[in-house]
Chains A and B, each alone.
Chain A
Amino acid sequence: MTQYLITFRTLTQAQRAARVLERAGYTVTIRRTPAKLSSSGCGYAVALRKQVSQAAQLLKERGLWTGKLFRLEADGDYREVLP
């Protein structure tokens, strides 16, 4: 199943987003953002595997959407995608 990452600048932003998604029934995990995706260094991401468009919409409604969504490709690399 495809893995997506929504990246955040801080841990707390990622935690807030994760809570909103969990309460809406999503299965998510918080993880460190891969270094190559983190231009300012040391970020956190919320990882999820499905219904990413709806998740993005929910975060937009709550003012928590960062606009940074990445998809894990078959070659192990991440590509920025639109929700």
Chain B
Amino acid sequence: MIYLDSAATSLIKPASVERAVLQAMRTMASPGRGGYAASFRAAETVYACREAAATLLHVNDPSRVIFTMNATHGLNLAIRSLVRPGTRVVISGFEHNAVTRPLHAVGADVRVAGTRLFAPKELLESWDTALREAEVAVCTQVSNVFGFVLPMDELSALCRKHGVKLIVDASQSAGVLPVDMEKWQAAFVAMPGHKGLLGPQGTGILLCGENGEPLMYGGSGAESRMQSMPASLPEHLEAGTQNVCGIAGLLAGIRFVAEKGTERIFAHEHKLLQTALASLRDSGLTLFTGEEGTQSGVLSLRAEGLDCEELAAALAEKGVCVRAGLHCAPRAHESAGTLETGTLRMSFSPFLTEEEVQKACALLLQEIR
């Protein structure tokens, strides 16, 4: 199998992740619920993961690292905290349904700014204008469909300039690019644990610049006589027993990323992107690619006259795992003019080799000939 769908889930994990999950399952009980060793072991693991995430993602207080079930959960929490019916919200033209559906459900007044692919300067100009009338902005750091790296340092500076609260979707960037809560001064930054951070599915992180409003209410292991959630983070936003086994795996994933370094991981994935582009150039495929520095390790492509889903199915039969269709991001496809056809997406990971990418590309070329 050649796995090229890490933008959905990083299937290949460090061995330490699997070991940590198993160890947690065997030895850890509920954190913050008991006064015995198995409970404290769980609590220590959960807190260690908060600390590791805070260090990697530049958060000055580990209490501001909230565990969620995925990025979608974190984005819902962030959006429900800041957006009310009619709130003017600016988004980029590359947002995932995890952003646009909660905004739609709340009844936000959504304005899309910056729709041209791999055009960061144009996007910044659009945002500078759109933010004048906005209260909240939600923006992905990297497009999950095209790997377009949005200029988050500059976007966050624009939000501060206009006094607009910023929610960042770091689903495709956490573990690959610098995610810097302190620099951005964002209200919230949401991310999954199961993609670039190399943790198990069912894990996610929400970094909180603000206290936020709970999406769920329930037991927190603290202040049990009170009928409101504890006022302080993270218990304020974490109701019910956390996914301790998942968090133990996530801690191992974060430690791997921290040891390897996001710069090296990005450089490796960038090299794989270049390998794919070199293999597929002059093939007649439409390759969606940008200038140096504007694209992560994600490549969308289209074969004229061929259905992307059928092409992906043919590759799956040969053991190549790619994702086709709209990638839960119709807004991004609309921006790129691929809403009707969808695209076939290859996405890379730290464990993938150049040889695997070349082989997958060769199989793809066989299919289109």
Contacts and interface: CB of A to CB of B under 8 A. Distances in A.
Contact of A41 (B44, B51, B224): B224
A63 B234 CA distance: 16
Interface in B229-249: 230, 232-235
Interface string B8-34: 000000000000000000000001101
A10 interface: yes
Given A9-B230, A11-B32, A30-B40, A43 B235 contact: no
Contacts of B43: 11, 15, 30
Nearest to B39: A32
B135 to A, nearest CB: 30
B153 interface: no
Contact of B223 (A12, A16, A32, A40): A40
Contacts of A39: 225
Contact of A12 (B40, B63, B225, B226): B63
Contact of B222 (A19, A30, A31, A44): A44
Contacts of A44: 32, 222
Interface of B is mostly: loop
B62 interface: yes
A10 B232 CA distance: 8
Interface string B80-121: 000000000000000000000000000000000000000000
A38 B61 CA distance: 25
B63 A40 contact: no
A10 B35 contact: no
B221 interface: yes
Interface string A7-32: 00111110110010000000000111
Given A41-B225, A42-B223, A43-B222, A12 B47 contact: yes
B220 interface: yes
Contacts of A16: 61-63
Nearest to B62: A16
Nearest to B231: A9
A23 to B, nearest CB: 11
A10 B220 contact: yes
A9 B222 contact: yes
Contacts of A40: 223-226
A16 B43 CA distance: 12
A15 B233 CA distance: 13
Given A9-B230, A12-B235, 14 more contacts: A10-B223, A11-B31, A11-B221, A12-B234, A15-B43, A15-B44, A19-B51, A30-B40, A32-B35, A40-B223, A40-B225, A42-B221, A42-B222, A43-B222
Interface of A: 9-13, 15-16, 19, 30-32, 39-44
